[in-house]
Structure 1
Amino acid sequence: MFTGPLLLPPLLLLVLLLVSGAAKARHTDATRSAFSQLELPRVLTNSPAPRALPWVEILLAAALLVAPPPFALPVAVIATLLFAGYLVVIARALTFDHPVTCSCFGELGLGQVTRRTAVRNVLLVIVALLGVWSATAEASVASRLVDASGVEWMWLGLVVLTGAVLGTTFGGPKGGSPTSSVVGAHPSDAEGELDYLRQPLPFATLADADGSLHNLTELTRTGAVVLVFISPGCGSCRAAIESIPQWSTDLAPVRVIGVVAQTIEATVAAVPELEGHLMHDSKGVTIRIFGARTPSAVLLGGDGMLAGGPVMGGHEVTAFVEDVRGELLAAGVLAPA
């Protein structure tokens, strides 16, 4: 067997599992949140599984590296079954009528589940199957690396270099979201408000509890509005969810509205204290327009212009609201506590 090609699949899998496991281990709440957002069975979400999954991935990565025959083959099969399970979960999430945020690689991979996510997982299953083939070799991956010739090491290095070039060239978004270039900065940034470029509110609609649709311009006719995009099953959203009723009081006359892709009825059933503070973003259209994810926030100015955000992340949303409150205090709109 030629060592180079057969070493690539298990090496790729073990690196991905190590990175994924380490990232998940640092943020176990994000993993439990992913279980909830992906609507896995509640008994699984509330079990030790979210906390154990990172260590399972790390141990599996180590086993892929050092397991000798005949143990290498069942280890490779287990890895294949794990990645196949991930593919099934992602494919199921694509059938939901609302966007789902998945921390597939902990907070490193925090992002919305799309068809691209499914394609990536299909490719990983194929790599895992090639790893099963590689596991039929007469030595462990570690032993084959030690015995590899200089030419084979050079071949592996060139493959890694090619992958890095392709990843940096074609991976990730090109230039950010449609609005990020002009609304991504916050007025409190070091350069000051003069560097904050504003633009008219995008045309997007949200539904109230009665099902009536309102575009963003209509929402701001009575004054500025802070939209906080949340999901009841999102662990990172917990602080924002708990704070929205208080923010509505603290920032008045600025309105604070929680925006959910799930129905308002389902959200209120899960979080009763949000009743009267929610609007429905059908199929997550508005959050996509802002290029955001849950949790995130944006400030709609009373003049029909974007006034701040979007900002993303639990701590960032809280800081953003505090900055808005500070601006209102400085302008004399709010009385000091």
Structure 2
Amino acid sequence: MVSALSLAPVTLAVLLGWSGAAKLREPSATADMVRELRLPRRLAPAAVSRVLPLAELLTALLLLTPWTWTYALGAVAALALCTAFLVVVARAMGFDPRPVCACFGRVGHHEIAGRTVVRNALLVGLAVVAVGIAVAGSSTGRLVADYRWADCVWLALAATAAVVIALVAGGAGRTPDPRADRDAVDDAGRDGGTLLGSVLVDPDLGTTTLLTLVLPRPQVVVVVDCWCGSTFTVLERLPAWRSRAPELGVHLVHTQPPFAEPRAQGLADVWWDPGDRLLTALGTGRGPCAVLVDEGGVLAGPVTGVEEVERLVGYSASRSRTT
């Protein structure tokens, strides 16, 4: 068997390992993905966010094992995972608006488009090659053991090319890291600058600033930037969040005018963030995010993801009762 075929399972192992590690770090992104992609109800977002990354990591390990039977298990699992990703993404192409895909964690977080379908189809192709290796009675370990010097050179150059392409293609679309930007957000809040000076628009097209909202007492500000599953989950949970933290205000801010959306009508304290200025000041990137703010600046957060927002509301409620 041609030794170069080992690149297929090696590539899958790297991608699935990377994806599983990313999902373990941010389970809320996976939970949001399940909601946005409108998966069956039996696939509970919290359960998927725990099981899927472990399945990906285990599959990656199996693909690299030297034993034929364990490798075969990994190849079949990889084909199942990649096929499931392809089917889900292709189905979501018909959604309006199209949701955000986090099949590979936050690092792969982007709007679903034709390129997403092509990417997942290529991964299915690699998985088919990996299964073919297993059917032939071989494995990654056996193919690598047969490498000659020239094969090692090809593998090293292929890996280098992949890294270069990833760095070039990924640089422009980088999602801001909230942890890296938190100091900047805090400084802006304490100085009364970008964050507290963000202009918000009400249903009557009147304007106010975030500073004005937080002057009476601290407020939880929840920011969303799309009309998709995670946003509708926020709308559903908003009344419960407000009853959980009656001592605080819980405001919903959308980067698009939210006032014509039927599910948002009848809700108080819903605002429009024209130009995404508040979202940009928070520096959290895409997806529902939230922060606890007073006139002095950021008290807690920002956090990203529906479940993280829920935890922030709980923390803010307990904090307000003890101060």
1:298 to 271, 274, 278: 278
Q: Is the 8 A contact 1:14 1:65 kept in 2?
A: yes
**In structure 1, what is the equivalent of residue 105 of structure 2?**
106
Q: Which moved more, 1:84-93 or 1:223-232?
A: 223-232
CA distance in 2, matches of 1:168, 1:101: 21
Q: Is the 8 A contact 1:36 1:234 kept in 2?
A: no
Which secondary structure state, in structure 1, belongs to the residue aligned with residue 104 of structure 2? Answer: strand
CA distance in 1, matches of 2:22, 2:108: 9
Q: Is the 8 A contact 1:298 1:311 kept in 2?
A: no
Q: Is the 8 A contact 1:33 1:236 kept in 2?
A: no
CA distance in 1, matches of 2:121, 2:284: 32
Residues 71 and 194 (structure 1), Cα distance of their counterparts in 2 relative to 1, 3 Å cut: closer
Which secondary structure state, in structure 2, belongs to the residue aligned with residue 258 of structure 1? Answer: strand
Residues 46 and 236 (structure 1), Cα distance of their counterparts in 2 relative to 1, 3 Å cut: closer
CA distance in 2, matches of 1:170, 1:314: 22
Code of the aligned partner of 1:228: V
Code of the aligned partner of 1:317: A
Q: Is the 8 A contact 2:23 2:104 kept in 1?
A: yes
Residues 189 and 10 (structure 1), Cα distance of their counterparts in 2 relative to 1, 3 Å cut: same
**In structure 1, what is the equivalent of residue 253 of structure 2?**
258
1:326 to 247, 272, 296: 296
Superposed, 1:145-224 pairs within 5 Å as 145-173=144-172, 188-189=186-187, 218-220=205-207
CA distance in 1, matches of 2:209, 2:158: 59
Residues 54 and 250 (structure 1), Cα distance of their counterparts in 2 relative to 1, 3 Å cut: closer
* Cα deviation, residue 277, structure 1: 3.2
* Cα deviation, residue 298, structure 1: 1.1
* Cα deviation, residue 260, structure 1: 8.3
* Cα deviation, residue 106, structure 1: 2.8
**In structure 1, what is the equivalent of residue 120 of structure 2?**
121
Q: Is the 8 A contact 1:34 1:234 kept in 2?
A: no
**In structure 2, what is the equivalent of residue 43 of structure 1?**
42
CA distance in 2, matches of 1:311, 1:47: 21
**In structure 2, what is the equivalent of residue 276 of structure 1?**
268
Q: CA RMSD for the aligned pairs?
A: 4.9
**In structure 2, what is the equivalent of residue 14 of structure 1?**
13
CA distance in 1, matches of 2:95, 2:255: 14
* Cα deviation, residue 39, structure 1: 0.9
Code of the aligned partner of 2:295: R
Which secondary structure state, in structure 2, belongs to the residue aligned with residue 165 of structure 1? Answer: helix
CA distance in 2, matches of 1:14, 1:111: 22
CA distance in 1, matches of 2:173, 2:74: 38
Q: Is the 8 A contact 2:35 2:45 kept in 1?
A: no
**In structure 2, what is the equivalent of residue 93 of structure 1?**
92
* Cα deviation, residue 158, structure 1: 0.5
Which secondary structure state, in structure 2, belongs to the residue aligned with residue 317 of structure 1? Answer: strand
CA-to-aligned-CA distance 1:95-118 (integer Å, 9 cap, x gap): 222342333223333443333322
1:233 aligns with 2:230: yes
Q: Is the 8 A contact 1:20 1:104 kept in 2?
A: yes
CA distance in 2, matches of 1:189, 1:72: 52
CA distance in 1, matches of 2:15, 2:149: 25
Code of the aligned partner of 1:325: E
Code of the aligned partner of 2:278: V
Q: Is the 8 A contact 1:264 1:278 kept in 2?
A: no
- Judging by fraction of residues, say which structure has more helix: 2
CA-to-aligned-CA distance 1:31-74 (integer Å, 9 cap, x gap): 23321221111111268444222222122222222264466456
Q: Is the 8 A contact 1:9 1:134 kept in 2?
A: no
TM-score normalised by the chain length of structure 2 = 0.65
Which secondary structure state, in structure 2, belongs to the residue aligned with residue 43 of structure 1? Answer: coil
Q: Is the 8 A contact 2:16 2:56 kept in 1?
A: yes
Q: Is the 8 A contact 1:32 1:51 kept in 2?
A: no
Give the gaps of 5 or more residues in structure 2. Answer: 177-181, 214-220, 299-322
* Cα deviation, residue 13, structure 1: 0.4
Which secondary structure state, in structure 1, belongs to the residue aligned with residue 101 of structure 2? Answer: strand
Q: Is the 8 A contact 1:245 1:277 kept in 2?
A: no
Residues 16 and 187 (structure 1), Cα distance of their counterparts in 2 relative to 1, 3 Å cut: closer
* Cα deviation, residue 11, structure 1: 0.2
